[in-house]
Amino acid sequence: MLYKLLYGLHDYISPFNVFRYITFRTALSVLTALIISFFFGPYVIRKLSALSLRQRVREETPKRHQKEKEGVPTMGGILILISIIIPTFLWIDLGNKFFWLLLTATLLFGVLGFADDYIKAVKGNPKGLTIKMKLIGEIAIALFVGAVLYYLAGKGMFSTRISFPFIKQLNPDLGWGYILFSVLVLVGSSNAVNFTDGLDGLAIGAVLIASATYTVLTYVAGHYIAANYLLIPYVRGVGEITIFGGAMVGASLGFLWFNCYPAKIFMGDVGSLALGGAIGTIALIIKQEMLLVIVGGLFVIEALSVIIQIVSYRLYGKRVFRMAPLHHHFELLGWEEPKVIVRFWIIATIFALISLSTLKLR
């Protein structure tokens, strides 16, 4: 929107030619998202508090959480989404087909999360949507995304091949199976971020790291020379998605200002499901789906801890961890919450660095 207006003036004001560069507009997207977060953050916190949209802590969480986190405004993911969408509309080429798919997927996951938060905060049910209802919603959204990508592949604008880190010559074509593969990626990524959202700033800090990593990967995937040099799939037109990734970085950084320990606001499922869905959709669009396991390594560990705990308890009647997800286990071992958060951020950073190293490793 603003990008087209300003770049259109480059024939009269030559410095405006800088707006054609994706890197410059990505930087503007980060800054715009950050400013929006800082500006609207206090208002959103006050508004959510006035509407009594407050956190309902489940009984199975650590006792300290029930004292400290009960009543903190939730559904802060609305602020995150606003901080992502506005900068993206300002600085991206709105004619980009991948942008509209990414935006739709993000908003649909956000709506699903909003419904879950509404039931928790307004209806007073701390469990929110049933697991079955939430899964049905996630699968439906993922099927839509997979179907659109499969349709684009049929038009020669996308590929149903998947790539593997470290083994760049392995590119199997899944054909229509790519739709089912998309379901696995999106349901997994959205729930993994959701599981990680349990301590002040933990999830949004990890999302910041993952989105920054995928912003770099997106730029490379959309740059023909860089993609071919690094032997990674080149996707025509996907470079514009870098602006969306930059907005995610700025929005995450801005939200962390209010969500860091002790949190003044929580993102809720409207934030965690939307962010997880956005990261998963970007991974699909830029053909770095398998790398998501490494980029989001912390999210994978958190999700696996939940799965292991459930399977172990149902099969053997024993718990592997004191509590799942994993961050609660370390809390019950005596780690202070800030220590758990920072150490998990360090782990997320290590995974991000490993994933970026795969660009050069064959």
Domain ranges for the chain, please list them.
27-357
Query: CA 62, CA 52: separation in Å to the nearest integer?
Result: 23
Q: What is the pLDDT of residue 231?
A: 84
The identity of residue 7, as a single letter, is: Y
Distances in Å between the Cα of 346 and the Cα atoms of 123, 208, 351 are 37, 12, 9
Query: CA 289, CA 94: separation in Å to the nearest integer?
Result: 24
Structural contact between residues 19 and 7, judged by C-beta atoms closer than 8 angstroms: yes
Query: CA 266, CA 197: separation in Å to the nearest integer?
Result: 9
Q: Is 74 helix (H, G, I), strand (E, B) or coil?
A: coil
Both tokens of 158, joined, read 């996308």
Distances in Å between the Cα of 319 and the Cα atoms of 299, 301, 306, 316, 328 are 20, 16, 10, 8, 13
Query: CA 294, CA 140: separation in Å to the nearest integer?
Result: 26
* HSE (side-chain half, CA atoms, 13 Å) at 330: 17
Structural contact between residues 252 and 204, judged by C-beta atoms closer than 8 angstroms: yes
Per-residue pLDDT of the chain in tens (362 residues, 90 and over written 9): 776 777 676 777 878 788 889 999 999 999 999 999 999 999 999 999 888 777 666 555 666 655 667 778 989 999 999 999 999 999 999 999 999 999 999 999 999 999 999 888 877 776 778 889 999 999 999 999 999 999 999 999 999 999 888 776 788 999 999 999 999 999 999 999 999 998 999 999 999 999 999 999 999 999 999 998 888 889 999 999 999 999 999 999 999 999 999 999 999 999 999 999 999 999 999 999 999 999 999 999 999 999 999 999 998 888 999 998 999 999 999 999 999 999 999 999 999 999 998 887 75
Q: What is the pLDDT of residue 77?
A: 95
pTM of the model: 0.94
Query: CA 82, CA 254: separation in Å to the nearest integer?
Result: 12
Both tokens of 39, joined, read 């500006």
Tell me the backbone φ, ψ of residue 59, rounded to 5 degrees.
-65, -30
Q: Is 54 helix (H, G, I), strand (E, B) or coil?
A: strand
Tell me the backbone φ, ψ of residue 164, rounded to 5 degrees.
-120, 135
Q: What is the pLDDT of residue 39?
A: 95
Token pair 């995928």 is at which residue?
Answer: 214
